[in-house]
Amino acid sequence: MKRKLEEQIIALAYGELEGAEAESLLEQISQDPELRREYEAYRKQAELLNAVPPPPAPSFSSERLRDAVFQQTIRKQRALPALGVIGAVAAGLLTLVVVQQIATSTRSAPIADETPVVALQDLPAPHEWVPSLIEDIQGSVGSGTAEPTVKVDVAPPVAKQPAPAQRANKKRTPAAPTRSAPSNESAAAPDSLNEPSPPAEDETVVILEDGGKAIEMEGTEGVAFGG
């Protein structure tokens, strides 16, 4: 059977074909047993579908819908702060990593309590003078002298030679000067960092038993140890 004819038979059986077209097709069907069988099969099918009872009455209520919508909204609202917390934690971690990276890149050696403080302004870059300083220190230690001395060949133009106490400190921590905030002492007397100052008249240099050196200052109880 041709597809077009079958389509028309199905449409007729389901009541979707009317008028002259339907009458013409019915005439054709009545004369052909095969067409009649097709038509009857689809007509029976359409009848069965029409006879299917409607669904049972549902039990709906607007209150139930409102509750469901409310629950859905609550779920969404709960999800939003959770996302915010996750975002905040991520941002915090990122900040921490960045700060740590910055700190690592700016600090070349651990900061000791006695690390000398130098003026930050007008200093040459550390890589210009630190290597020679380290070489001097290593040379002094290698020679086995009991009282190593520090000789700074390439002194910074402004901090040409540290004060004795600071020099002693440098021997213990031969790292580059840090950019930590200046202490009160350096803030009070910034010139002492710029000018090599010999022991003052009221200072006494004491040689310690272990080869160390201390400077006693009259009128004060503070003693700076070095060496």
The residues that touch other proteins, with contacts defined as CB under 8 A, are 7, 10, 14, 41-42, 44-46, 48-60, 62, 64-66, 68-69, 72-73, 76
Quote the least distance from Cβ 29 to other proteins, whole Å.
17
Residue 82 and residue 78: Cα distance in Å, rounded? 7
Quote the least distance from Cβ 95 to other proteins, whole Å.
35
Quote the least distance from Cβ 40 to other proteins, whole Å.
11
Residue 149 and residue 168: Cα distance in Å, rounded? 9
Name every residue whose Cβ is closer than 8 Å to that of residue 211 and which is 6 or more positions away in sequence: 146, 147, 227
Q: Which is nearer to other proteins, 56 or 84 (CB)?
A: 56
Q: Which is nearer to other proteins, 57 or 188 (CB)?
A: 57
Q: Which is nearer to other proteins, 51 or 103 (CB)?
A: 51
Backbone φ/ψ region at 171: left (φ over 0), alpha (ψ -120 to 50), beta: alpha
Name every residue whose Cβ is closer than 8 Å to that of residue 216 and which is 6 or more positions away in sequence: 203, 204, 205, 206, 223
Q: Which is nearer to other proteins, 52 or 188 (CB)?
A: 52
Quote the least distance from Cβ 97 to other proteins, whole Å.
38
- Is the distance from CB of 223 to CB of 215 less than 8 angstroms? yes
